[in-house]
Structure 1
Amino acid sequence: MTHVNLIRHCREQSGLSQAELGDRVGVTRQTIAAWEREDREPSVAQLAKIAQTLGVSVELLLQTSRPATETFEPGLMFRADDPSALNPYLRATLSQKAADYAFVETLVQEVPTLPALRPLQGYNDYIVEEVAREIRDWLGVGEACPLGDVLALLESKGLKAILHPLPPEISGFSAYTETDGATIFINESHPTERKFFTALHELAHLVFHRQEYRISVEIKAHLRFNKSKRSDPSEKAANHFAGAVLLPEDVIRRELHAYRDRWLPEPLLMDIKRRYGVSLRTVLYRARQAKLITIKQKGQQIGILNKKYGADNEPVTLPQPEHLTRLERMVYLALRQGKITISRAAEILGKPLIKVRESLNAWLEEAEA
């Protein structure tokens, strides 16, 4: 029996209506509604199309329906300020994605890596700035250079980064085990600069608070909200760290030295955003942390941005990151070595078979060149 509730939850999570899902699967809206009511069941071929469209595994959709009172608990456990923020069906989907990623790592014998643990109790701005400089060195980025594509940079170091649709209020979260290393989940619907910030925010937790991820032998994930508990010292440290890695203190001082104790013009903020991949608000926070502007001015300028664009929006749209992800590269390597089937590769990557074949051929041609 198909897990019909999961089809509905994953469809809603993907932002698709019944009609839109029907168009992609090749059936009517009424058919989707019938499947979700459990009046009818999709065929195996239709189920594969549903899984592909929703970005979940076929196995997940084939699980037996359970009573509403029974907990649908995935293998990956989530610890959160608000445990209801991620419904159990989304947890199951993300658990499967993390497991698939770790499986492919094992297939191609790649070892997950992480920077050294630097336990931090509370919040210490000096230590955060120091560790941020160390992380830029670990990433191999010059002191004054923009990071560029942060996700590609982190993946080049062996970190697992997974983009997936999440509830709008969730920017991302992370998980860690000694065997599988770290996995950072990022809301794929958020703007580019927010994705970059979230990835580094979660890296901060993996550096400063790694001991909090594991209790007994269970995997514990660290769910982080962009807007939650701003007074939490661990959140404050992670936010400061992300901004400091993106915009080191020497850089922000060089960029804004002519505007010390002066109003920062919006065109200047937008120019820094384009070059460093940061939000306008991050520039203002870093200007305050470098003591170039006052707390009052920072608050006033952020208030004006909120009034003009809304609390979650900004002018200047940065291009979405476009690169061959670490997972894609490892999957293509596994295909080349005959360690995985093309259908399994398509399922792991959440892409149609024809797209996987096309991308594989392009990758092979580039590798040979």
Structure 2
Amino acid sequence: MAVAEKNKALAHSTLFAEFVDFLDRHLDLPPDNVPTRAVNAVEDIERAAEACRMKWGLGLDRPIDNMIRSLENAGVMVLMVEGYVAKVDAFSAIGPTGRKLVVLNRKDSGSRTVFNAAHELGHLVIHEGVETGDRETERQADRFASAYLMPRAGFVKEFPRTSRINWTALLKLKARWRVSLQAMVRRAYDLALISAVQYQRFYKAISAKGWRKAEPGEFPITGPEVVHAALAVLQTRMNLGFDDLASTLSVSRQKLSEITGIDAPDGQPPDEPGKVVSFVAAKEARRRA
């Protein structure tokens, strides 16, 4: 990744963290419930993913219907943005108050976005205090994502084991488990459900069909809900509108829209450069009015 794009992603995560910190100070957000565990071997990663699912009541034999909601329920603040950094699929961070953050890029397909979210969860669970970004930590996060989305207890029972590739069965499995064909094939290989020869055959067939970049059977995903709900609460219960919030955070309406992933409401007056209104002062002024 170019340095400029990396710096842009870091700047965005910093602004998002400041926004979330503001929400944490004024609203009752879901508490942090993300388990952390150090790992050394592949089996450690498998067990970490299973422990995470069990802690969240997701079981080990069924798909996750809503990946983003599973993160938000555990206190992770999730943001989906579009096009701000073309080469960044997703990234995670920990805010100044310890709040865990995940930012996803809307440019990807539904199955890719789900896997990216699970990959970032992997970093948060198994890489606490570890510098990530190298080949090994990325490989570990991928393995965690696979184990979290396709737990071995359930996936082993459902993956079709036939001598020929059954695309109809695999596409049905994709719709059920909400992961890509490529992720399922890799998971099947990791769990020894297919041999190395079969694995290569699968990938050659996927490439020949042009599915490496655009698979069939993609699905829409539900975006983050907590940020939307938080802004609604600020508006209805505190009378703090979008422009008020932008002023309080000392950012423009456009920047606040980028930070939150929510379009600024129409019909608002333009920004006044340099105008900063404190949250306390604004609330007191409304009380007196």
- Which TM-score tier does this pair reach, normalised by the shorter chain? 0.7 to 0.9
Match of 2:63 in 1: 146
Structure with more relative contact order (C-alpha pairs < 8 Å, separation 6 or more):
2
Residues 1-369 of structure 1: pairs in structure 2 closer than 5 A: 82=1, 84=3, 86=5, 88-89=7-8, 91-110=10-29, 112-121=31-40, 124-166=41-83, 167-177=85-95, 179-212=97-130, 232-256=135-159, 259=161, 262-321=163-222, 325-338=225-238, 340-344=240-244, 347=253, 348=256, 349=260, 350-354=262-266
Match of 1:46 in 2: none
Q: 1:191 to 1:345 in 2, by over 3 A?
A: farther
CA RMSD of aligned residues (A): 2.6
SS in 1 for 2:108: coil
AA partner of residue 110 (structure 1): L
Match of 1:23 in 2: none
SS in 2 for 1:161: strand
**TM-superposition CA deviations, 1:165-206 (whole Å, max 9, x none):** 254442211111461421111111111111111111111111
| Alpha-carbon distance in structure 1 between the residues aligned to 2:62 and 2:245 | 36
| Alpha-carbon distance in structure 2 between the residues aligned to 1:338 and 1:176 | 27
**TM-superposition CA deviations, 1:229-280 (whole Å, max 9, x none):** 6xx2222211111111111112221112x516x3331111111111111000
Shift in Å at residue 313 of structure 1? 1.7
AA partner of residue 167 (structure 2): E
Q: 1:165 to 1:234 in 2, by over 3 A?
A: same
AA partner of residue 92 (structure 1): A
Query: What TM-score comes out, normalization by structure 1 length?
Result: 0.63
AA partner of residue 259 (structure 1): R
Q: 1:127 to 1:317 in 2, by over 3 A?
A: same
Q: 1:157 to 1:344 in 2, by over 3 A?
A: farther
- Check whether the contact 1:102–1:180 (CA below 8 A) recurs between aligned residues: no
- Check whether the contact 1:156–1:326 (CA below 8 A) recurs between aligned residues: no
| Alpha-carbon distance in structure 2 between the residues aligned to 1:301 and 1:248 | 21
| Alpha-carbon distance in structure 2 between the residues aligned to 1:301 and 1:168 | 29
| Alpha-carbon distance in structure 1 between the residues aligned to 2:143 and 2:219 | 22
Shift in Å at residue 95 of structure 1? 2.7
Q: 1:142 to 1:355 in 2, by over 3 A?
A: farther
Give unpaired runs (5+ residues) of structure 1.
1-81, 214-221, 357-369
Q: 1:318 to 1:107 in 2, by over 3 A?
A: same
Q: How many residues are aligned here?
A: 255
AA partner of residue 263 (structure 2): K
AA partner of residue 131 (structure 1): A
Match of 1:50 in 2: none
Q: 1:143 to 1:120 in 2, by over 3 A?
A: closer
Give unpaired runs (5+ residues) of structure 2.
247-252, 269-289
AA partner of residue 353 (structure 1): P
| Alpha-carbon distance in structure 1 between the residues aligned to 2:136 and 2:165 | 28
Query: What TM-score comes out, normalization by structure 2 length?
Result: 0.79
Match of 2:275 in 1: none
Match of 1:362 in 2: none
AA partner of residue 154 (structure 1): L
Shift in Å at residue 113 of structure 1? 0.9
Identity in percent: 21
| Alpha-carbon distance in structure 1 between the residues aligned to 2:58 and 2:169 | 24
Q: 1:181 to 1:234 in 2, by over 3 A?
A: same
- Check whether the contact 1:105–1:330 (CA below 8 A) recurs between aligned residues: no
